[in-house]
């Protein structure tokens, strides 16, 4: 074999390797002819969520669509999920949040792509010829007035009726919708395929109120595989780890010297009084929990959306009985870099590594921490704990244990 042949062969091999990794990541460079052809054959789903919903319910809605699309890929379907940008969330107060943010700000998109065929919206923008992104059909999903017809909840959908799209198309004015259709819907998400199949020529299909369709199956291995793929953006992880190391001198997945609390306030403290405690009640419960779990622990990490005045009072009362209270307070530069969404994730990561966690009842922010702790391998007894109201019933939280 001549040297020239060897070089040619190696180049060919390199090309094959490069093309196959490119395919695996689902990433595609426009200039590549093969990828252009892929794009021509591909079809896309994008969804939006009820505007007032927060970040952590949206993460669960993502999982429903990601699992639906991952299942479809196994049947050789050519559908991809466009990741809807994070835009103008109700709980994000800082001005610097006012533009559509890609998922890569918060998640490791390469990891998401290993589980499901997903693309960022800006990747799609970069591939369409015109400046306008035209959605072929927007299905505005709506709940049925009566979910239990004749006392029975069953999967069903029905086109018709009046509706408005109440979202904002993520603030983009170069997105248009060719046709809007109102659909009453209830039940499993995979039934959306029945709707989609009514118009087989559609390339870009959108669903508004993506929170209405439910998981086909909750808590299965597939559910957890998807959940595990939702790794956070590396900069957020490294910031949280630096904090944990600095204040708790812990470098492990499972730290043994601090307790974490998700103290949800704001709308919860106002309108869910029967589920959440007062400041004094919170102090009493944390103290009791630590006495029962490990009386040697003095460090408490508090994640909260509470007001400064409430947090100062909580910190004071806990300090008075001998605890050391820690909060993650971002610098202005960190807030500008990570935004409200990133800061909340850093809070969640710090809570996830604590020896013992106490959450807020029915908060999806708490649920996502609990899932993270299941993935990290904590004993469930250190995870599924909640703050109770000062008086009255305190339902035991459900334990959603990991399936590997
Ligand atoms: N930084 C931070 N933000 C929080 C905390 N708790 C709630 N938030 C904010 O409030 C929002 C609450 O909405 P959501 O994620 O839907 O959780 P849920 O309403 O508790 O189920 C979060 O997304 C955050 O923006 C917290 O402990 N720390
Ligand atoms: Mg919420």
Give pLDDT tens digits for 138-154: 999 999 999 998 889 99
In a domain, 61, yes or no: yes
Q: Report the separation in Å between the CA atom of 252 and the middle of ligand 2, taken as the mean of its atom positions.
A: 30
CATH number, domain of 79, equals 3.40.50.11340
pLDDT of residue 36: 64
Q: How far apart are CA 206 and CA 196, in angstroms?
A: 10
Alpha helices in 44-137 (DSSP H): 55-74, 109-115, 121-125
Mean pLDDT value across residues 284-306: 98
In a domain, 394, yes or no: no
Query: Same structural domain for residues 216 and 279?
Result: no
Residue 362 CA: nearest ligand 1 atom is 21
Do 302 and 311 contact (CB within 8 A), yes or no?
Answer: yes
Shortest-distance Cα residue to atom 10 of ligand 1: 91
Name the token pair of 316: 């004071």
Q: What are residue 300's DSSP bridge partners? A: 259, 325
Query: Same structural domain for residues 178 and 273?
Result: no
Mean pLDDT value across residues 273-291: 96
Residue 164: burial class (beta carbons within 10 Å; 0-12, 13-18, 19+): exposed
Q: Is residue 26 scored above 50 in pLDDT? A: no
Query: Same structural domain for residues 217 and 261?
Result: no
Q: Is residue 357 scored above 60 in pLDDT? A: yes
Q: How far apart are CA 336 and CA 237, in angstroms?
A: 17
Query: Same structural domain for residues 189 and 148?
Result: yes
Query: Same structural domain for residues 292 and 204?
Result: no
* Number of domains composing the chain: 2
In a domain, 6, yes or no: no
Shortest-distance Cα residue to atom 14 of ligand 1: 54
In a domain, 59, yes or no: yes
Query: Quick check: CB of 304 below 6 Å from ligand 1?
Result: yes
Q: Report the separation in Å between the CA atom of 71 and the middle of ligand 2, taken as the mean of its atom positions.
A: 28
CATH number, domain of 299, equals 3.40.50.11350
In a domain, 238, yes or no: yes
Name the token pair of 179: 């046709």
pLDDT of residue 116: 98
User: Per-residue confidence at 22, pLDDT binned at 50, 70, 90?
Assistant: very low
Domain region containing 341: 233-382
Mean pLDDT value across residues 115-121: 98
Query: Same structural domain for residues 307 and 199?
Result: no
Residues marked active site are found at 53
> Which ligand approaches the C-alpha of residue 302 most closely?
1
pLDDT of residue 72: 94
Mean pLDDT value across residues 181-189: 98
Query: Same structural domain for residues 297 and 164?
Result: no
Query: Same structural domain for residues 267 and 162?
Result: no
Distances (CA, A) of 61 to 48, 76, 199, 278: 9, 23, 24, 31
In a domain, 322, yes or no: yes
pLDDT of residue 367: 98
Query: Same structural domain for residues 145 and 239?
Result: no
Query: Same structural domain for residues 167 and 309?
Result: no
Q: Is residue 319 scored above 60 in pLDDT? A: yes
In a domain, 396, yes or no: no
pLDDT of residue 2: 53
Q: Is residue 25 scored above 80 in pLDDT? A: no
Q: Is residue 86 scored above 70 in pLDDT? A: yes
Query: Same structural domain for residues 320 and 201?
Result: no
Query: Same structural domain for residues 130 and 165?
Result: yes
In a domain, 392, yes or no: no
| Of 14-23, 221-230, 297-306, 390-399, minimum mean pLDDT range | 14-23
If you average pLDDT over every residue of the chain, what do you get? 92
Q: Is residue 6 scored above 70 in pLDDT? A: no
User: Per-residue confidence at 342, pLDDT binned at 50, 70, 90?
Assistant: very high
Q: How far apart are CA 347 and CA 356, in angstroms?
A: 15
Q: Is residue 237 scored above 90 in pLDDT? A: yes
């Amino acid at each position: 074999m001549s040297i020239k042949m060897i070089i040619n062969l190696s180049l060919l091999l390199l090309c094959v390797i490069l093309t196959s990794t490119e395919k695996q990541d689902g990433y595609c460079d426009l200039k590549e002819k093969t990828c252009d052809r892929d794009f021509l054959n591909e079809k896309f789903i994008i969804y939006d969520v009820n505007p007032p919903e927060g970040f952590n319910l949206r993460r669960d809605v993502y999982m429903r669509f990601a699992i639906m699309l991952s299942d479809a890929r196994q049947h050789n379907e050519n559908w991809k999920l466009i990741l809807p940008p994070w835009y103008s969330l109700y709980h994000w107060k800082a001005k610097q949040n006012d533009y559509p943010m890609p998922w890569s700000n918060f998640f490791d998109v390469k990891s998401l792509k290993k589980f499901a065929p997903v693309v960022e919206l800006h990747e799609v923008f970069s591939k369409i010829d015109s400046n306008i992104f035209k959605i072929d059909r927007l299905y505005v999903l709506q709940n049925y007035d009566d979910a239990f017809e004749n006392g029975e909840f069953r999967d069903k959908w029905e086109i018709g009726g009046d509706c408005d799209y109440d979202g904002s198309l993520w603030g983009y004015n170069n997105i248009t919708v060719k046709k809007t259709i109102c659909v009453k819907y209830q039940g499993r998400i995979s039934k959306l395929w029945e709707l989609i199949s009514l118009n087989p020529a559609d390339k870009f299909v959108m669903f508004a109120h993506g929170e209405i369709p439910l998981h086909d199956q909750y808590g299965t291995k597939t559910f957890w595989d998807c959940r595990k793929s939702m790794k956070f953006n590396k900069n957020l992880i490294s910031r949280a780890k630096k904090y944990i190391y600095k204040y708790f001198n812990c470098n492990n997945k499972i730290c043994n010297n601090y307790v974490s609390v998700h103290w949800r306030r704001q709308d919860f403290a106002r309108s869910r009084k029967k589920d959440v405690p007062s400041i004094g009640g919170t102090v009493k419960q944390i103290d009791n929990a630590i006495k029962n779990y490990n009386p040697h622990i003095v460090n408490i990490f508090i994640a909260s959306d509470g007001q400064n005045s409430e947090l100062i009072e909580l910190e004071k009362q806990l300090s008075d009985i001998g605890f050391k209270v820690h909060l993650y307070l971002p610098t202005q530069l960190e807030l500008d870099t990570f935004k409200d969404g990133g800061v909340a994730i850093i809070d969640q990561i710090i809570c996830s590594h604590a020896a013992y966690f106490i959450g807020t009842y029915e908060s999806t922010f708490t649920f996502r921490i609990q899932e993270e702790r299941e993935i990290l391998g904590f004993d469930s007894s250190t995870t599924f704990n909640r703050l109770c109201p000062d008086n009255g019933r305190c339902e035991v939280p459900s334990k959603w244990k990991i399936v590997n």
